[in-house]
A and B are shown apart, each in its own frame.
Chain A
């Protein structure tokens, strides 16, 4: 816990599950919970990176006390008035209570190793990190913030994809955020670094997440367009062992690096050192 306790906001958000021991999803071993938490939620036996929430992620990357949240109150308007077993509005409310977040992403600015940057961090615990209109708008604004302030843009993705409950509006977010990244790349020498965490799929991978000037993934993260079960059902054959893992993407030339959680901030800082152009206009 030590590594994120410093941030007051985060410590109250984090719920510590019951039990002293956890079963690692990577190696299926039973591990002492404290040991995992001391290790940035990485399994000491197999290096499996447990999912962490957006505030933990911010503590991990931002210089202490430097994060300033923006657009915290942007929420979904429920444009389709979508209803399944539960009205979508109720679903949003219960996720808000569960996660202490208003949406599946947090945006803001922070310094990282001394470099100021515009950040957009997704949170998988909120409706599977899905991208609806509010998340799309936060990404769009975070990219524009980077352009306005001439600071790097950094995203951390963890998402099942576009949010079904907002239908076509969610699909359109893919176009919007990609257009914003396009504008950033066409008009500015501002780096856009995309970090992919477990899992990143669908409309998120197929838009801003795969458009980074540099793309970094956490070890063993599942990353793809279509989910492995859908693919298995379609092609009716078993998928290779490391299919859609970060290492698989690296091998196929789709990402730049696989970086351990404990190295992420150092690597980011070094990259920013190379990519930040003094007096970018």
Chain B
């Protein structure tokens, strides 16, 4: 059975009726067929309406939708000849980050991305897409490998955040993220990053410094989750907080693709199929592939030094601060 989010409930009702009608009529009854057509049109309109005006909190829920395609799904759909590589050569292989070489169109590239699991067992195995330091160190190792061989790097971002755990701290979670930020800022090969689901804070940006940064239409990217933000702001004196507060926090954080495009943090929004990437994964993957191919070709024209220089300049400009002009 399909998974519906709360705000999709009216849709669910119509779609269940369509399914019932199909089953009962098995396509032989003209009256049922026309009823189905009518309902399908209605569902489409309703979906259009719901998804054209998602609130930031609703976007967050779509970004976390359990049926949303993950990194390996996109790799399978849009790339050929993927060879997964493992391990950080220091401690372990972290399954919440995957990476390896693949072909996208005519290009041989390195793809690195967060990987969430599907189903209870795999979700736990992938640690819900929350990397340990080993994940970030594997990512960096592979990106350095790509740099040596002049391969473009593609990172797919989809994590609630870096894992807050004992081992992660013991093994230098902060250092692993910091090292990635420092090293990728001067990586001498094109880097293209796409937020495909959840862009959760430091755990996301650790593989997110890019020459071109894009977001899927319903993905989100933020310094803190709406729940975390709401807890800091309102969970005082034992006050209960819930979806109302989360929604308010999500509004304040300006974390949707549209917000980030307006803020000039990202370069492009990749449109998703109506109802979200999980409704038509293949067409979502095609849109992603198109955007990636275009970006690879754009960036391949630049020399490594120019790439590094432009990336630094781009970072230099970001920030909402005021520098008062000196009095003459």
Contact = CB atoms under 8 A, between A and B. Distances in A.
B1 interface: no
A267 B321 CA distance: 35
B170 A252 contact: yes
Interface of B: 162-166, 168-175, 177-179, 181-183, 185-186, 201-202, 205-206, 208-209, 221-224, 229, 232-234, 252-255, 260, 263, 265, 311-312, 315-316, 318-324
Interface stretch (A117-125, A225-233, A270-278): A225-233
11 contacts: A71-B323, A133-B319, A162-B201, A162-B202, A167-B254, A168-B253, A174-B205, A175-B185, A226-B173, A240-B166, A244-B169
Contacts of A77: 320-322
Contact of B182 (A85, A162, A182): A182
Contacts of A183: 185-186, 312
Interface stretch (A4-12, A107-115, A207-215): A207-215
Contacts of B209: 175, 179
A225 B162 contact: yes
Contacts of B254: 80, 167-168
A21 interface: no
A211 B178 contact: yes
Interface string A15-54: 0000000000000000000000000000000000000000
A225 B202 contact: yes
Which residue, B168, B208, B252, B319, has most C-beta atoms of chain A within 10 A? B319
A140 interface: yes
Main SS class of interface, A: helix
Contact of A175 (B166, B171, B315): B315
B68 to A, nearest CB: 21
Given A182-B183, A183-B312, A243-B169, A76 B321 contact: yes
A82 B252 contact: yes
A248 B243 CA distance: 38
A82 B232 CA distance: 14
Contact of B169 (A85, A202, A208, A225): A225
Categorize the interface residue count of chain A. Answer: 35 or more
A227 B164 CA distance: 8
A270 to B, nearest CB: 24
Nearest to B171: A252
Nearest to B221: A168
Contacts of B253: 80, 167-168
Nearest to A205: B174
Contacts of A209: 174, 178
Contacts of B208: 175
A234 interface: yes
Given A80-B320, A209-B174, 19 more contacts: A73-B323, A73-B324, A76-B322, A166-B320, A171-B202, A174-B177, A175-B208, A176-B316, A179-B181, A182-B182, A183-B186, A206-B162, A206-B177, A210-B172, A210-B174, A225-B177, A226-B164, A230-B164, A231-B164
Contact of B185 (A171, A173, A178, A239): A178
B199 to A, nearest CB: 9
Contacts of A74: 321-323
Interface string A240-274: 10011000000011100000000000000000000
Contacts of A170: 223
Contacts of A205: 174, 178
A149 interface: no
A211 B179 contact: yes
Contacts of A206: 162, 173-174, 177-178, 181, 202, 206
